[in-house]
Structure 1
Amino acid sequence: MEKVPMTPEGHAALTEELNHLKSVERPKISKEIGVAREHGDLRENAEYHAAKEKQGMIEARINEIEDKLSRAEVIDPSSFTGDKVRFGAHVTMEDVDSGKVVEYRIVGPDEADLEKGTISVTSPVARALIGREPGDEVTVNAPGGKKTYEITKVRWR
């Protein structure tokens, strides 16, 4: 069974989502199905079929989250120190060509959100960064072509 790396925050967010789905969404959709069922013939009842489809999606998401949580490897990077990039690190880099500075935090796949500055440990950028230190240059095969970055800072929070 493959472990799923995640930060304590990511684990808490998944647990919260699971609790919400089970305690709020599941009962709500059951009521919707009951109301739609009262409308008569189920073969031509669009509300009923839509509610059943939504129920299927909710149950699938519950199963997915339960699976991930059962395989979770919670890694707390707050106790990490040093300059080597690894899971949980906040990495500041400069694009060698454009001089643009970017910062990413390396997190688990379910926590990745580029808009929040987090990237998955399985992403090409993170894989190129792991084990490197400030001053190192890394080349990443990005969708727009190869990019070269210089690592300027590694921080732990």
Structure 2
Amino acid sequence: MPTLPMTAAGHAALNDELADRTRIKRPHLAERIQQAIADEPNLIENSEYQAALGEQRLNEARIAELESKLARAEIIDVSKLSGETIKFGATVTLTDQDTGEERICQIVGEPEADPAKGKISFSSPLARALIGRFKGSVVAVQTPGGGKSYKVEQVRWLP
């Protein structure tokens, strides 16, 4: 099974979510199911039971997914990385060549990617275009909205 590279922060976030789902959400859902059964023993017509059971299934599926990801995690310590060349873990400041808009993003593992928070997967089109480049480089990326060009303004190594 292939490893999943991720930052220490991403690994900690997945561990936190797993702990929340196993220690808090799982018992809460079990209580909801028990209460729904106590309130209406006819399970076929018990909508609260069906809803809680559905939530429990989703929670258990996410727990299994998190456990699998954590078991395959390869933690990359970004604080030990350096250099001018962009690679996994780099925090990059970019300028959109068309709009002049600045964008800051960190290249992270797929499990921790969240573009809305500036964390892009190393396998995303933008990250693939950036990896191996350096400050001053201009990269072209195809996006669903069309082509984009960015200039690399800064490369930093933040934990």
SS at match of 1:43: coil
Matched, 1:150 2:151: yes
SS at match of 1:135: coil
SS at match of 2:153: strand
* Pairwise CA distance, 1:77: 1.0
Matched, 1:91 2:89: no
Matched, 1:44 2:64: no
Matched, 1:78 2:75: no
Partner of 2:133: 132
Unmatched runs of 5 consecutive residues or more in structure 2: none
Partner of 1:32: 32
Query: What is the CA–CA distance in structure 2 between the aligned matches of 1:103 and 1:15, rounded to whole Å?
Result: 26
SS at match of 2:83: coil
Partner of 1:110: 111
Partner of 1:66: 67
Partner of 2:6: 6
Query: What is the CA–CA distance in structure 1 between the aligned matches of 2:82 and 2:31, rounded to whole Å?
Result: 51
Query: What is the CA–CA distance in structure 1 between the aligned matches of 2:102 and 2:19, rounded to whole Å?
Result: 38
| TM superposition score normalised by structure 2 | 0.94
Q: Which runs of 4+ in 1 moved over 4 A?
A: none
Unmatched runs of 5 consecutive residues or more in structure 1: none
* Pairwise CA distance, 1:115: 2.5
8 Å CA contact 2:69–2:111 kept in 1: the answer is no
Query: What is the CA–CA distance in structure 2 between the aligned matches of 1:33 and 1:130, rounded to whole Å?
Result: 49
SS at match of 1:97: coil
- Aligned partner letter, 1:125: L
Shifted more, 28-37 versus 92-101: the winner is 92-101
How many residue pairs are counted as aligned between the two chains?
Answer: 157
- Aligned partner letter, 1:49: Q
SS at match of 1:110: helix
- Aligned partner letter, 2:119: T
Query: What is the CA–CA distance in structure 2 between the aligned matches of 1:25 and 1:101, rounded to whole Å?
Result: 39
SS at match of 1:65: helix
Query: What is the CA–CA distance in structure 2 between the aligned matches of 1:45 and 1:67, rounded to whole Å?
Result: 33
8 Å CA contact 2:98–2:149 kept in 1: the answer is yes
* Pairwise CA distance, 1:43: 1.3
RMSD over aligned Cα atoms: 1.1
SS at match of 1:42: coil
Shifted more, 105-114 versus 135-144: the winner is 105-114
